[in-house]
Amino acid sequence: MLRNIIENELANCLKSREDLFLIDMDIALDNSIKIIIDGDNGVTVEDCIYVSRSIEHNIDRDKHDFSLEVTSSGAVTPLSNIRQYIKNIGRILVIKTKDDLKYEAKLVNANSNQISLFWKQREKKPIGKGKITVEKKIDLLYKDIVEAKVKIKL
């Protein structure tokens, strides 16, 4: 019952803030609730407070004993939502696929079915000695991606 109440309040909250979206929600046996959100323009502490208060202020504490934690998706957290891919167009991703392939490439497009990656790599010349730089592009279906992370530049 608490799960339904939390889901409804969260849905109402996110309707009023369409720039924010749910990544994950977990309710433990002791009614400790953890909600992870992300946003099209990132997530601020104020955004987390807004979601937390929107939920807490609409639940009767005399009926339900719970703890609530609202956090943002971390910088090193794998992407799990199509909107996360879309907001990261132009950035370098590190991707592992079901075929056990690994790509480190620029995300150039993302839609409801797939992403497009672009990178340059050095390859042997077809004729003669030496190497040339070739441009590569691949389209990957979301279902074929095991893990995708944004590469953090230091």
* Structure-token pair, residue 30: 């002791």
Q: What domains are there in the chain, each with its CATH number?
A: 2-72 (3.30.300), 82-150 (2.30.30.100)
Is residue 74 within 8 A of residue 84, CB to CB? The reply is no
Query: What is the pLDDT averaged over residues 64-89?
Result: 92
Looking at the DSSP assignment, which residues form a beta bridge with residue 71?
A: 36
Is residue 110 within 8 A of residue 95, CB to CB? The reply is no
* Predicted local distance difference test score (pLDDT) of residue 90: 96
Residue 154 pLDDT more than 80?
A: no
pTM reported for the whole predicted model: 0.85
Residue 86 pLDDT more than 80?
A: yes
* Predicted local distance difference test score (pLDDT) of residue 40: 93
Q: What is the pLDDT of residues 1-54, one digit of tens each?
A: 889 999 999 999 999 999 999 999 999 999 999 999 999 999 999 999 999 999
46 burial via Cβ count (<10 Å: 0-12, 13-18, 19+): exposed
Q: What is the pLDDT of residues 104-152, one digit of tens each?
A: 999 999 999 999 999 999 999 988 889 999 999 999 999 999 999 999 8
Q: Within 10 Å of residue 32's Cβ, how many Cβ atoms? A: 12
